Chains A and B, each alone.
Chain A
């Protein structure tokens, strides 16, 4: 069956009970095609939707390191991309799967710890010193395994229970890492976990690291964008909306959910490897409550409706973290973050993306009103009013 057929079957445009409390999800932006086969249809649809703004953003992001000083490249750009990638895994699970998991940072931390334990670090009595490419592959595999296990434990819970069980699992891992010295080196953690020198480029320097992070961030972003329209993703959203109906149709909600955890685990593990390379160290503090909640804040801040959300949230978060001390006391950084988070939750559960969308709609309506007003000046009162009403709703958009 084609993707379009899936969507019709799933009644995609109906209001869904996603986490922001019953608001309708945006329908997919592509029109349906019936003539072309699924693969060419989707490619054509993709090309149709590369607008000027996409080209502009991509160019900006590619040229960014050449415009700004190295500090901005590494600490703002590199860190935002890495955190955004980890938060993307949370957005994928929560926004499209309906499962809000606080354990994504834990998965990233497990991958990071594997890099530190199997690779080279400042604790030679524990680290095995294996070659970096092998270590990274094993780290991603290990993280995904852990994510699948977490998913298997959490799959029968929903809503707030999922939050709590993933929080408990995260805390258990935190305490394990803190108390165990044989493998995890306890409170100290691992220092000097540096990225390798590959083909004469040192991945620890700002520009190469930025491009590495950018590559994986783009890969993650496009992968999620593709996945949510692929049959698996659509089925997952169906499970999110109405598991019983899906089950009646013959799909296994449990299998889909665990698979979603695994996919999110891959994304989070890659983010975890990047994070441990960015910091050059990993300690129990990196996987504690504050970072688990920070990732949640990043995801919610940006908006969970679209894969670009976590990256936007990450940029705002990193900017606040670095420059809050110049504007207000860095001491009160947590207060600022908490207030921003509260404001977003109260007034715009779809995060900054939701505000952006509302702003765009408002601007569009204003421009349409103005246009209609100009056009209708010569028309009598009643007719003018009807003209403006139809002009205000742009054609072709749901």
Chain B
């Protein structure tokens, strides 16, 4: 070997040793957090916003928590449970994250929860998955969910529809899978108990956009329609309903009355005013904490939405919980993260919408906001908060016996024709 080659090799070796040493030293002071969202497929926009929300939480703490530096490792899925588990497994076993935040969709959440049982050394915190079964059926001791789920999001709306809006009989249009089942259960648990009647349930197959036959079958003797469709499907439904001559008022689900629907250009636009809906947040919450959150989001993400979406908000609070927990134990993740998990269990999370605590299944108990569509001073439509239900638990504020008798939401549960 020539002199030059030897010098080069020596330099490289020295650099390698230095990197390894610094990485080792570095590693002691870093906490690795894995972040999983749906970045492929139709939910990609929601997943991107979820990541923005999580990044905002990290940025608020200047990238440090519990005295240690936070390193975020991202992964992506496409809303399929097997892909989500593969991505999680890579983060946990290959990238060696100590805390896992994710996933985005309901069925992925159940699969990741099952996986978490085989990894007792890692703490799993939810992203935005909202299936009831994740924490009600076979809960995992190291899976924490700091956001309320689909059914909790509708608690209080049934009461409001019956007593405030005086809708005594309703017909339901929703998509035929788990998330709408839980939303409908959240609504009907209260509505049926107080005497309301849902006489017709139209479950539309997933992905169907042609509602004409469904509309033709709707009964004419109901007071209102409960529409649990995603925002853009809701616009399709509204246009087709209007063109078929329908004129009943609407009650929306948590993702129904969003920006797309509020900008609906049809003739019946004025009839949208007063449409109630419910969810874990609303664009127009009037507290300083919420306004700061929206301002921070807008300032940090010029390429984001005009206002943080549901996904951004929910990922934000889950990541915030992860970091607040680290602060509480001063970064001590030793002993199989026992102290950390105790801290999480007892955490009183201060979120932009209020306080969130966990129940015995590590599921969040938090506020639900009832909103109504109103017209702002500049003529645009927005969702005005009309009522807040402060502490909604996963039993939908029913007693244990009542809830267990009802079971989880499905096509026929609950039922009050």
Contacts and interface: CB of A to CB of B under 8 A. Distances in A.
Contact of B75 (A175, A179, A188, A325): A325
A381 B206 CA distance: 75
A281 to B, nearest CB: 5
Given A71-B94, A286-B82, A187 B177 contact: yes
B86 A321 contact: yes
A122 interface: yes
A192 B138 contact: yes
B93 A70 contact: yes
B249 interface: no
A331 B87 CA distance: 13
Nearest to A187: B177
Interface string A309-322: 00000000000011
Is the contact region of chain A dominated by helix, strand, or loop, or is it mixed?
Answer: helix
Given A279-B85, A330-B39, A71 B90 contact: yes
Nearest to B111: A281
B110 A191 contact: yes
A329 B137 CA distance: 35
B264 interface: no
Interface in B21-80: 39-40, 44, 74-76, 78-80
B410 interface: yes
Interface string B85-114: 110011001100000000000010011001
B355 interface: no
Contacts of A181: 410-411
Contacts of A18: none
B10 to A, nearest CB: 29
Contacts of A187: 107, 176-178, 206
B141 interface: no
B311 to A, nearest CB: 15
Contacts of B80: 283, 285-286, 290
Contacts of B133: 188
Nearest to A285: B80
B81 interface: yes
A325 B292 CA distance: 33
Given A74-B93, A290-B78, A334-B40, 10 more contacts: A175-B205, A192-B114, A279-B82, A280-B111, A283-B80, A286-B80, A330-B39, A330-B75, A331-B40, A331-B44
8 contacts: A72-B94, A122-B114, A178-B206, A204-B118, A281-B85, A290-B80, A325-B76, A330-B40
Interface of B: 39-40, 44, 74-76, 78-82, 85-86, 89-90, 93-94, 107, 110-111, 114-115, 118, 133, 137-138, 176-178, 205-206, 410-411
